[in-house]
Amino acid sequence: MTINDVAAATGVSRATVSLVLRDEPRVSDETRRRVHEAMERLGYVYDRRAANMRTQRSMTVGLVVTDVRNPYFAELAMALEVVLHDLGYALLQGYSHDDREREARLLEVMVENRVDGVVLLPSKDTTAADLHQRVVLPRMPHVLLARPVVNHESDYVGVDNVKAGRLLGEHFAAEGYGRVAFLGGPRSTARSDRLRGVRAGLARHGVKLDAKLSIVTSAERGGGIAAVQALLEAGPLPEAIAAYSDNVALGIFAGLRAAGIDPGRDVAVGGFDDIPEASLTHPSLTSVATFPDRVGNEASRLLLERIATPDIDPRRVILPPALSVRGSSTTLRRSQAA
Amino acid sequence: MTINDVAAATGVSRATVSLVLRDEPRVSDETRRRVHEAMERLGYVYDRRAANMRTQRSMTVGLVVTDVRNPYFAELAMALEVVLHDLGYALLQGYSHDDREREARLLEVMVENRVDGVVLLPSKDTTAADLHQRVVLPRMPHVLLARPVVNHESDYVGVDNVKAGRLLGEHFAAEGYGRVAFLGGPRSTARSDRLRGVRAGLARHGVKLDAKLSIVTSAERGGGIAAVQALLEAGPLPEAIAAYSDNVALGIFAGLRAAGIDPGRDVAVGGFDDIPEASLTHPSLTSVATFPDRVGNEASRLLLERIATPDIDPRRVILPPALSVRGSSTTLRRSQAA
DNA sequence: CTGAAAGCGCTTACAG
DNA sequence: CTGAAAGCGCTTACAG
């Protein structure tokens, strides 16, 4: 069932059917009506692939994220999808599971399918060389999300992670915590920026963060549990814990409880991202918001502009974070009140 | 940069290049080597769309779910993606936001892109007529997930929701709760099945569930908060709450706390799905597991079989649920111990 | 083992 | 306002 059939049934050429399909004005109303009637009667369905093939576009965008079970990435993926779908784009999506090689295969599939552009949340160890081969050489318009890749020049949307860390560090110091740990998360620019920020924030109040109290894990909840175990084996409980992310912080909550320690009472906890759960846990979780919906909106805007004009200089959009103080980081206040 | 260029550079026909691309054995090693060398040198990238166009397949599958911020659906989407990606399929994905019309547009895009098949988690009010128009008439192979649609004949994978409800109802009754509410979730077969099951489970121990204590809301966390508010306005606190899902149960936890009520102590709570958070909350959440990974695996299996042999009879795979008892539903035991 | 030709379902100048 | 022809980048019998 193709435009050939519709053309034959209507007694016009298939060029005319094509014009009707795309609502070109230069077809007479009568012809238009008869073509529509035939399409309806024959159950014709537009073949967008064939059209794309001819026009050399695809009206499809690729989205690669690591893991959508992480609420922050879920929010991000949905924000992007809403914008792109409403503009008529379809979304080819894949999950890298934070694995470089899986990510490479996903990008390959997207390039082979000639998506118009790709939005990528890089895996923890994606290199500039990886991206060079997978997206730069094929001249694929792309935007990186949340995690910058060193030495890779491209559009990027993320949050000011150093500032985010500083907000949490200053808050901890202002609350009076003297011994602070930074737990969880894979080695990455995002992690080292947040850690550096926490250090700087604490330092402003004369507090130091012991290097031994930084523990690297996966970005998953289990990473938080593992980090707590390592922390407790290494020495006494700190007064406050900065978690790599809220997702990790939820694992830290569970890990602490498993060890008989009450988060928010025996030790303060703060995270990053301000996922919806942060305000629903008990105690509610102090967190630095990193606005996935804004990141998603900015990313789709940058990508569409990049697709329209491929040769403009790479742009970096760095969004400001915001601290939300909640019950998990006010242990001292509470004990002083008691 | 096409197979024409590669053919010209190598001095063979483009048919030969095509054979090399698909690793057909009837090309000499020497020719194969020279073709590969030219592809490398020219930076040739396979155009899968053109190939698909010719072979009349797409090696792409559509996935429509309502909302991946719901951890159950996130798990489901990722389970499906792993299987399909490893088999060489790309995944065209969209989020319906539990909205019928958005779902219809997504399905339309997928059919127009000639995906080989579609996996659909229907919106709460999708009708058989909707599906007839969007997937049956275009003869699109498809599998429904988690929520059956009445009067629609197709492959389906889900969990035995009546049994799931019964497991929770029996557990509540066995724990000694006499006044039980069913909170949250949109009107749907899944909801009424779970409610019916809870009723049946309670009835086995002579406990009745008051119809006024069933409150319909959205499937989101906010739905749980809203349900608690409605519940408290309507009358005294019940002894136990069956939540439509764990996602809703997390909202119920927050709603109760906002009203100064301690979940798991002042009132028992149980949910469905057994999402990872269930064991990480405080108190940990009693839940009936509905195994998104298994649902995802079964769905991809059914879809691939349907694509291979479109005319087999529709099949229904109903997976058995399993109860996980945790801290949120043992309030009486605790108070008796005290 | 390799090549010439037809075709997948569209769109796009161009001519009338 | 409408049609004939070429072409998007592949694959697939078929012939040699």
Q: What angle do CA B72, B74, B75 make, to 5 degrees?
A: 65
Inter-chain touch B95–A78, beta carbons under 8 Å: yes
Q: B224-240: per-residue pLDDT in tens?
A: 999 999 999 999 999 99
Same domain as A70, residue A12: no
The fraction of chain B above a pLDDT of 70, given in percent, is: 98
Same domain as A282, residue A312: no
Same domain as B148, residue B207: no
B186 band by pLDDT with thresholds 50, 70 and 90: very high
- pTM here is 0.92
A231 belongs to a structural domain: yes
Closest residue in chain A to residue B73, using alpha carbons only: A69
Q: In angstroms, rounded to a whole number, what is the distance separating the alpha carbons of residues A190 and A298?
A: 18
**Strand ranges in A15-165 using DSSP code E only, listed in sequence order:** 60-65, 90-95, 117-120, 142-145, 155-159
Closest residue in chain B to residue A262, using alpha carbons only: B282
Same domain as B193, residue B107: no
Our measurement of CA A2 to C1' D3, in angstroms, reads 18
Q: What's the token pair of residue A18?
A: 């094509």
CATH classification at residue A39: 1.10.260.40
Among residues A323, A312, A267, which one has the least CA distance to residue A290?
A323
Residue-by-residue DSSP string for A12-46: S-HHHHHHHHTT-TTS-HHHHHHHHHHHHHHT---
Q: In angstroms, rounded to a whole number, what is the distance separating the alpha carbons of residues B5 and B11?
A: 10
For B318, the 3-state DSSP assignment is strand
Q: How many CA atoms lie within 13 A of A141 on its CB side?
A: 24
Cβ pair B272, B71 in contact under 8 A: no
Q: A interface mutation test: which of B53, B69, B91 has the most A CBs within 10 A? A: B69
Nucleotide whose C1' lies closest to the alpha carbon of residue B54: C8
A239 belongs to a structural domain: yes
Inter-chain touch B93–A91, beta carbons under 8 Å: yes
Inter-chain touch A90–B94, beta carbons under 8 Å: yes
- Tally the domains of chain A: 3
Tell me the pLDDT of chain B averaged across its residues.
94
Q: A126-178: per-residue pLDDT in tens?
A: 999 999 999 999 999 999 999 999 999 999 999 999 999 999 999 999 999 99
Q: What's the token pair of residue A57?
A: 């576009």
B233, exposed or middle or buried, with CB in 10 Å at 0-12, 13-18, 19+?
exposed
Q: In angstroms, rounded to a whole number, what is the distance separating the alpha carbons of residues A209 and A180?
A: 6
Residue lying closest to nucleotide C9, CA to C1':
A50
Range of the domain at A23: 3-46
Among residues B155, B182, B185, which one has the least CA distance to residue B270?
B182
CATH classification at residue A123: 3.40.50.2300
Same domain as B130, residue B190: no
Inter-chain touch A82–B95, beta carbons under 8 Å: yes
How many residues are given for chain B?
338
The fraction of chain A above a pLDDT of 90, given in percent, is: 88
Our measurement of CA B53 to C1' D11, in angstroms, reads 9
Q: B15-33: per-residue pLDDT in tens?
A: 999 999 988 888 888 899 9
Which of B68, B94, B105 lies at the smallest CB-CB distance from A68? B68
- Using a CB-CB cut-off of 8 Å, the residues of chain B touching A69 are 71, 74-75, 78, 276
Nucleotide whose C1' lies closest to the alpha carbon of residue A52: C10
Cβ pair A325, A287 in contact under 8 A: no
Q: In angstroms, rounded to a whole number, what is the distance separating the alpha carbons of residues A209 and A215?
A: 12
* Whether pLDDT at B314 is above 60: yes
Residue lying closest to nucleotide D13, CA to C1':
B15
Same domain as A205, residue A265: yes
Same domain as B177, residue B274: yes
